[in-house]
Amino acid sequence: MGDVALTVPVIRGVLRQNPALRITLVTPKFFAPFFNEIPRLNLVHPDFKGSHKGVKGLFLLYKQLSSENNFDGVVDLHNVLRSKILSLFFKVSGKQIATVDKDRRLKKQIIKGCSNKALMPQWMRYANVFKNYGINFSSDSEVGIIPDSEACNQVSILPEMVQSSGKMRIGIAPFAKHKLKMWGIDSAKELISMLQNDNAEVFLFGGGKEEVEELGVLASHFDYVNNMAGKISFYQEIALISKMDIMITMDSSNMHIASLVGVPVLSLWFGTHPMVGFSPYGQPDDYSLQIPKEELKCRPCTVFGKGECRFNTLECISKLTPEIVYKKIQILRQELSLK
């Protein structure tokens, strides 16, 4: 999800700076809220579990896209087997193809400890694909995700939003897809306890049955904590995140969503590292909280968070304490002049 979200400022900027250009984006329907209010962008939602499954299904998708559009070329922003096959069909038909370079070799060198060179942010890689295709694009200060206006109105009248009137709104998303990117529910609970005297209203975000249940239990311990997981649509979730004063996230899709709607984000990094290329869009470097590589030379140990701690200690997680995060919140409140 984070990869898809990071395409938004690039696609929006490319279309804004090239008024004669039209783009058809092939992406799952669930991600449609990311691309709200982007002129000349046509979304096509494939069914990779049904009619577009496998090579035969991809060929059917190619035929459908070709019959509905007279494309000049194809830009592959994913560079996985499925997108490679689909691009190949277009290439055989004579279309120009440009593909994102994910620099997998350099990422492996960083994980192995053979390199300390920070890689290009992922959104810039997407921008370079368009440039390599020959499309003019300046990547400075592009707008990210624009929340749906109806969804914004809906979340503005939620009881939780009425309660939080006049208080600082802090969003917390304590989960991620993989274990080496998750802080843990106990650490989140400790941080929330520290915030109880700070005139703050906390909103919890997450997805999936287990996360919804755990966040519900966590919220039940506090009067000023609202569990939003499983209660609102994805459109509304993006809108609600945009109304936060500060967002606390793991290295996760919520980090990218909050960054792209312009909310200050304190992101927590454990087994992964911003230098690999997935830093949050438009956020200052010091908003990414982590144990320095000099203190934990095993960091980063993974690109995406997969795998297990090679020493079975998870020090990258345990050493980034709630106290450290709380102190950073106080500094950020002063910088942003929040009450």
Residues 248-300: tens digit of each pLDDT: 999 999 999 999 999 999 999 999 999 999 999 999 999 999 999 999 999 99
Residue 26 makes CB contacts below 8 A (sequence gap 6+) with: 44, 45, 46, 61, 65, 86
Write the DSSP assignment of 113-169 as a string of letters.
Answer: TS--PPPPPHHHHHHHHHHHHT-----SS-------HHHHHHHHTSHHHHHTTTSEE
- 116, 133, 150 — which closes off a domain? 133
- 75: domain CATH number? 3.40.50.2000
Q: Which residues of the chain have pLDDT under 50?
A: none
pLDDT of res. 143: 83
Pair (167, 283) in one structural domain: yes
Pair (58, 163) in one structural domain: no
3-state secondary structure of 56: helix
| Domain assignment present for 97 | yes
- 95, 117, 133 — which closes off a domain? 133
| Domain assignment present for 142 | no
Count up the domains in the chain and report the number.
2
| Domain assignment present for 152 | no
| Domain assignment present for 28 | yes
| Domain assignment present for 150 | no
Q: Let me know: does 265 contact 191? Beta carbons within 8 Å.
A: no
DSSP state of 207: -
**Cα 287 off chain centre by:** 15
Pair (181, 313) in one structural domain: yes
Give residue for tokens 């996360």: 211
| Domain assignment present for 165 | yes
Report the length, in residues, of the chain.
Answer: 339
Pair (278, 319) in one structural domain: yes
Pair (67, 177) in one structural domain: no
| pTM of the model as a whole | 0.94
Pair (167, 287) in one structural domain: yes
| Domain assignment present for 129 | yes
Residue 266 makes CB contacts below 8 A (sequence gap 6+) with: 246, 247, 248, 249, 287, 289, 325, 328, 329, 332
Q: At what angle do helices 322-336 and 185-194 cross, to 10 degrees?
A: 50
Pair (174, 306) in one structural domain: yes
Pair (41, 178) in one structural domain: no
Separation CA 38–CA 167 (nearest Å): 33
Pair (173, 315) in one structural domain: yes
Separation CA 293–CA 42 (nearest Å): 43
3-state secondary structure of 55: helix
- 99, 133, 167 — which closes off a domain? 133
pLDDT of res. 245: 95
Cα dihedral value 28, 30, 36, 39, nearest 10: 20
- Please give the single-letter amino acid code of residue 236: Q
Residue 242 makes CB contacts below 8 A (sequence gap 6+) with: 147, 152, 261, 262, 263
Domain with 328 in it: 159-336
| Domain assignment present for 138 | no
Pair (24, 89) in one structural domain: yes
pLDDT of res. 141: 66
Pair (82, 215) in one structural domain: no
Pair (90, 46) in one structural domain: yes
